[in-house]
Each structure stands twice: as C-alpha cells, then as structure tokens.
Structure 1
Amino acid sequence: MAGGAGIIERFYREVMEGGNLDLINELGSESYTEHEEPMPGQPPGLDGIRFYVNTFRSAFPDIKAKAIEPVISAGDMETTRVVLTGTHDGEFLGIAPTGKTVEFNTMDMIRVENGKAVEHWGVTDLLKLMQQIGAVRT
C-alpha cells in the first residue's frame, strides 16, 4: 500500500466504522508515536489507537466517516479532515447514553515509513461532540 492516504482512509472505513482492530497492526508501526492529546486512560502506541477506537465504537456503535477530504500529501506526510457521525448509544467519557446523533470533525496528519504510520498529529473536536450530547453548554 503506497502513501498515507490509503492508511487514513482504511483506518476510518475499516477500523473505526468496521471494527477491524487487527488492521491496526498492519497500518501502524510498532514504533508508532501519538502526538494528539490522549483521552483519559489512553495508553501510548498502537494500544492507544485500539483504546481510542474502542472508546468511540462503544459510545457510537454506528459511527461513520461521512467525509474524508481533502487528502494532501507531501513527501512522507499526509493530512486530511474527517467528518464523523454517530448516535450516542453507549457511555462516552463518563457521559451516559443520550440517543442523540452527533457530527464532529477531526484533523489528521501522519508520517509514513515503509507503508505504515509512524507518527500521528491530530485534533478531534471533542467540544462540539460534548455540546451535542449535552455534556457542555453552548
């Protein structure tokens, strides 16, 4: 698989949406480093990715990547914006299920070596998500 665009899209389509956690080892390097602020209890490395995915899939079992665009590549770096949607049907960071539908953005930038993500920088708009489930006032 060439380039990070395939990695990012496969991550969102097959791991986040499809729940294929085994694919994390194929997409990410053992030396993977996460630069995004961790969620409470999130471990480092590939285990941290599994934790992130499990947290979102448990809380939003119907999570979908509504949009993955634009993908911009430069050398060994790839970046994209992703719009995620889902229904809050499970506990999320201590917030009981509300049944509310959410839509929020993430921005992802990865560095790729030998066809695997070795570093990730990202921003997940948790404020917007928390506002939509009523955990934070607008």
Structure 2
Amino acid sequence: MAHERNKQVVSSFNVQVIQNGRRDVFEALMADDFVNHSAPAGAPNGPMSMWNTFDQVLRPALAGLTVTIHDQIAEGDKVVTRKTISGVHVGPLMGIPATGKPVTIDVIDVVRVTDGRYAEHWGLNTLAAALNQLRQS
C-alpha cells in the first residue's frame, strides 16, 4: 500500500507540477527540508531548485510540455521513475533561441517520499543531448 501511495505522489508531481505548473500542488508535495541531489554544483538544492527548473527554464521554453511516465518502481521509501519530458521549443532554453523544433528529454528520477512529500531527489537526464541537437538546428 505505501509503495502505491508513494508512486501516486510522484505521478502527481510529474503531471500536476512539471506538466501543468501547479504551484499549490508543488507546495503540498515538497518537504520543507527537501534536498535536490541533482542540482548543479554551487546551485541551491532546496525545494525552489526544483520549482525553478520547471517554472523558469522548461515551461517557458517548451510549448505543449508533457510528461510521459514509462515505468515506476517503488521499494522502501523510494520511487524510481523513467519518463520523457517533451514539447516544442518556442522560447529560449539554456541560452538557445527558439527553434520551433520538438524537444524530448529522457529522465530517470529517484525520489525519497516521506509522509506523502518529496524529501530527496536524484536524477539523470538527456537535457545536454537535447540542447546539442537544438544548437545544430
């Protein structure tokens, strides 16, 4: 039961926060002492590091941003999600002007869920490869 609840927390975050930009859901799902272990060196790694990635970087750059969850595996208090974030490049993305091209970013996340909230995050993604493809456009 706890595994399924934790998977639902992560699914809700992906759809409601990343895809739909719901700040209220973000605030409800993030622990105050959340740590983003995937934040760049020297960058903030608290809750706002996650919000800013989606609200200030991805959503303004990608029209029709969608999150497709391919797999989720839960064990203990952790949920692993394999997903794809996609959209059309209509605004600046990490210094690259809009190209109108489709963008896909494959992601594998590990989230530790405590009391129904995100406590920690680790992730790998193909953003660098997507940016390289846009630069070659």
The bucket for the TM-score relative to the shorter chain is 0.7 to 0.9
Q: Following superposition of structure 1 onto structure 2, how do residues 94-133 of structure 1 map, counting pairs within 5 Å?
A: 94-133=95-134
Q: Following superposition of structure 1 onto structure 2, how do residues 11-50 of structure 1 map, counting pairs within 5 Å?
A: 11-38=13-40, 43-50=44-51
Q: Secondary structure at the match of 1:70?
A: strand
Do 1:42 and 1:51's aligned partners in 2 also have CA atoms closer than 8 Å?
A: no
Match of 1:51 in 2: 52
Q: Displacement of 1:37 after TM fit?
A: 3.5
The aligned amino acid for 1:35 is H
Question: C-alpha deviations, 1:11-64, integer Å up to 9, x for none?
Answer: 12111111112211111100100011439x953211111111111001113110
Q: Secondary structure at the match of 1:79?
A: strand
% same residue: 29
How many residues align structurally? 134
Match of 2:63 in 1: 61
Distance (Å, rounded) in 2 between the aligned partners of 1:89 and 1:42: 26
**Which consecutive unaligned segments of at least 5 residues does structure 1 have?**
none
Do 2:38 and 2:123's aligned partners in 1 also have CA atoms closer than 8 Å?
A: yes
TM-score by length of 2: 0.88
Distance (Å, rounded) in 2 between the aligned partners of 1:98 and 1:14: 26
Q: Displacement of 1:127 after TM fit?
A: 2.1
Match of 1:70 in 2: 71
Q: Displacement of 1:4 after TM fit?
A: 2.6
Match of 2:81 in 1: 80
Match of 2:10 in 1: 8
- Structure 1 vs Structure 2 CA RMSD: 2.1
**Which consecutive unaligned segments of at least 5 residues does structure 2 have?**
none
TM-score by length of 1: 0.87
**Which structure shows the bigger proportion of residues in helix conformation?**
2
Q: Which runs of 4+ in 1 moved over 6 A?
A: none
The aligned amino acid for 2:84 is V
Q: Secondary structure at the match of 1:93?
A: coil
